[in-house]
Chains A and B, each alone.
Chain A
Amino acid sequence: MKTMSAIVLALLVFSIPVHAGDDDFKSVVKMIEQFYRVKHQGIPFLAKAGMKVGTTAARIKGGEAKRIAEAGSVKLAVFEDQAFNGDFMKFRTSLNGALNETWMPFVQTISGKSVEQNYIYLRNAGDKYDVLVITIEERDATVVQVTVSAKNLALLLKDPEGTGKSITEGATINDQE
């Protein structure tokens, strides 16, 4: 009986960080990988490959993303040129189910019968806010998590779609300047 209680207690203790910690970002990336059977590319790999997202690291350090995100808070996973075929309704349900406990689902848009899916989740982080933006298109997907100040959250609340897009674009679009 004691052993059983210990197992239950251990399960409870170890299950908490999975939902509440920083692993949520990784969990979402993993979930996309499993659901769509795709693989994300890390920034170092992309930088080496010289792909368009290769400039992301530089961009994050001094680019537009920094203007919205707090320094050092950007987490990014990019999926390029892979097929995102699957039931987007099932995907949305799984995603909401996985994140609902700690994240507030703020805005979700689906355009052109799943050709483009956008999800914005918010989470309180002390006097700041964590913003998780997931964009899935036909051949590409992006998961960006940033921490924003209260001021920048106001921008997001005022124009959810526009600010959500600029968070993703700021973290991924090639800087030609």
Chain B
Amino acid sequence: MKTLSRMKLTMPLILLLALPILARAQDARLQLSSLDHLAAKANQTVDVNVDERLMKAAAKLLSDKDADERDVKKLVEGLKGIYVRSFEFDNAGEYTTADMETIRTQVRGPGWTRLVNVISKKEGNVEVYLLFNGEQVGGLAVLYTEEKELTVVNIVGPVDLEKLAKLEGQLGVPELEIEKKKNNEK
């Protein structure tokens, strides 16, 4: 009896402790603050934060008349956020594998799948990860690394992969030429 009452007492506590872990498992928003320290070493740092409020505002502002804008609007409408961290360095070796691992650990979590992995000395390495919530894509992460550059793009929400390229150069998303690299991989 004592064990049962103890269980009754401890179960809610265990559930409470486990909830954030379960919630985080399906969260497409990556914690990028572990990269912040690189700003001190970088020659150029770019942080872009487009949260849900701004996303909604952006969707309203895009025209239905222009075909390109219409596509971007459709893409943007369901999204909950776009977050970019980009660092350019003067010398190679300014960021470490450990820095990248802080991000990779997150995209190796439940629900995440690696879609693209291009390793190119000439054009840099590109890894594209998708988070699936059941059948639906719940988010995306792009890791772009070169000797002197590190860029992470995190899109939160249902991403239409076919139209993803249209987001490049918009809303602070850098031109990563994902489509081109994806095709080169085939």
Contacts and interface: CB of A to CB of B under 8 A. Distances in A.
21 contacts: A89-B40, A92-B39, A104-B51, A106-B50, A106-B172, A107-B46, A107-B47, A107-B172, A108-B45, A108-B47, A109-B44, A110-B39, A111-B44, A112-B44, A113-B42, A150-B60, A153-B57, A154-B62, A157-B54, A157-B170, A160-B48
A99 B143 CA distance: 29
B47 A105 contact: yes
Contacts of A89: 36-37, 39-40
B67 interface: no
B165 interface: no
B49 A109 contact: no
A158 interface: yes
Interface of A: 88-89, 92, 104-113, 122, 124, 129, 150-151, 153-154, 157-158, 160
Given A122-B54, A158-B170, A160-B172, A108 B61 contact: no
Main secondary structure of the interface of B (DSSP, over half): mixed
B40 A151 contact: no
Given A89-B39, A89-B40, A108 B46 contact: yes
Chain B contact patch, size range: 20 to 34
B61 A150 contact: yes
Contact of B45 (A106, A109, A122): A109
A106 B53 CA distance: 11
Contacts of A151: 61
B171 interface: yes
A127 B116 CA distance: 41
